[in-house]
Amino acid sequence: MADTHPKLLRGRVLSFNRKPVGPDDHDALTYLEDGGLLIENGRISGLGDFTALKDTAPAEAEVIDHRPHLITSGFIDPHIHFPQAQVIASWAEQLLDWLNDYTFPAELKFADKAHGTRIAGAFYDALLANGTTTAVAYCSSHPNSVDAYFEEAERRNMRMLGGKTMMDRNAPADLCDTAQSSYDDSKALLNKWHGRGRALYTITPRFAITSTPAQLEAAGALLKEHPDCHLQTHINENHNEIDLTLELYPEADDYLRVYENFGLLGERTLLGHCIHMNDRELGVMRETGAVAVFCPTSNLFLGSGLFDRARLEGANIKTAIATDVGGGTNYSLMRTLDEGYKVLQLQRQRLHPFETFYWATLGNATSLSLQDKIGNLAVGTEADVIVLNARSTPAMALRMETIETLAEELFLLQTLGDDRAVAQTYVAGQAMKS
């Protein structure tokens, strides 16, 4: 449950109002040198100058002084694999080898509910330690894993999205469901969890290789029946993956056509990777509003390729940025932003720190169509808040001696920051780090 005791946080407050269009676009953000954030009943009820806000705050509000740290909205991770918490940092050749050698064996363990519950505790600890207050996760193909995932989220009152992986071929037999059972199980889990507390169910066919046409048809039927749900899957991550997909779906002239044919595309469709896209696919993504999710650490780790942000956003496609643990190599969105910056630098696509911190907060919230609930510190939004300390390590403290602007500080956090830089994480107004 939300912490009902009023809190007034004091510090340097940063919240994004919209996407920045350049390094001088200060109108895109609200920044208060001595700011206050009033939290009541799990929501933000006031944002402004601390002294003025204190005069109007309830007398019983607890003042928590986080100066000189930076207070901003919690990070949002729109693509992560809950069953891969014990797969992260596993050596492999490329994507398909990595799935067969590590991922599928790890996911088999989630038939045991007790195992899922234990991993869920560690998984959520890692998210909160790194300042991630919302994530969109793939669970395993076992309904047990979905229950373990959402039960832990409910215990911590977190705004979380996720769903059972639908997978009926090209995987170990004990991981495979059927088109009908995946529909039935997903629908039952959706009815159980979607909209319960802060939980949102996500329809989750893993990708075309592990789903028969019948299963993708079932996923499309679910989405049509529940258009307020998100759908997540993978696309165009790896050349071998693309080749096998087109072998399995010879009637499709490209990868996206597979999902298009089964009605899986819409504004709440999250397409992981989107590295090797053709022009037709970009046009369809633009028309349907589907979201391209950039996963830089896994793309580099598995040697999959370089995400072309300029091309995608130039085609008016919404983008998000995510960790993709366990192919991704860190739970931290700051570490992810750093690697994303480097991927784009290789393509001469300069990324300003205002843009990156927008991306990890309001940008990702907007891509999830949840910007009215999370991703910023506007009055009325859910009080998922983090406190960042840019002096959290000796190297960072030394660099901070020469930093003069907010943008420089954000770039330092992005380049050297990790869980140590997260001084506190608030979920619905409740402090989660001891």
DSSP letters spanning 127-188 = HHHTTEEEEEEE--SSHHHHHHHHHHHHHHT--EEEEPEE--SSS-GGG---HHHHHHHHHH
Q: Above 80 in pLDDT, residue 102?
A: yes
135-156 mean pLDDT: 98
Confidence of residue 421 (pLDDT cuts 50, 70, 90): very high
Sheet bearing 385-388, strands edge to edge: 43-49, 29-40, 7-16, 62-73, 385-388, 422-427, 430-431
Q: Above 90 in pLDDT, residue 6?
A: yes
| Cα distance between residue 184 and residue 200, in whole Å | 18
Give the rounded percent of residues in the chain with a pLDDT score beyond 90.
95
Question: Is 70 in contact with 357 (CB distance < 8 Å)?
Answer: no
Beta bridge partners, 16, equal 29
Q: Above 70 in pLDDT, residue 66?
A: yes
Provide the residue type at 1 as one letter. M
Q: Above 70 in pLDDT, residue 1?
A: no
* Residue-averaged pLDDT of the chain: 96
Res 45: pLDDT: 98
Characterize the bridge pairing of strands 422-427 and 430-431: antiparallel
Res 233: pLDDT: 98
- Model pLDDT for residues 362-412, shown as the tens digit of each residue: 999 999 999 999 999 999 999 999 999 999 999 999 999 999 999 999 999
Q: Above 80 in pLDDT, residue 349?
A: yes
Confidence of residue 138 (pLDDT cuts 50, 70, 90): very high
Res 96: pLDDT: 75
26-46 mean pLDDT: 97
| Cα distance between residue 182 and residue 176, in whole Å | 9
| Cα distance between residue 283 and residue 268, in whole Å | 17
Confidence of residue 59 (pLDDT cuts 50, 70, 90): very high
Among 94-103, 157-166, 314-323, 407-416, name the one with the lowest average pLDDT: 94-103
Question: Is 144 in contact with 169 (CB distance < 8 Å)?
Answer: no
Give the rounded percent of residues in the chain with a pLDDT score beyond 70.
99
Provide the residue type at 243 as one letter. D
Res 2: pLDDT: 60
Residues with Cβ within 8 Å of 401's Cβ and at least 6 positions away in sequence, in order, are none
- Model pLDDT for residues 199-217, shown as the tens digit of each residue: 999 999 999 999 999 999 9
Burial of 44 (0-12, 13-18, 19+ CB in 10 A): buried
Beta bridge partners, 319, equal 292
- Model pLDDT for residues 242-269, shown as the tens digit of each residue: 999 999 999 999 999 999 999 999 999 9
Q: Above 90 in pLDDT, residue 69?
A: yes
The pTM of this model reads 0.97
Q: Quick one: how many helices (H) and strands (E) in the chain?
A: 17, 16
Res 4: pLDDT: 76
Residues with Cβ within 8 Å of 26's Cβ and at least 6 positions away in sequence, in order, are none
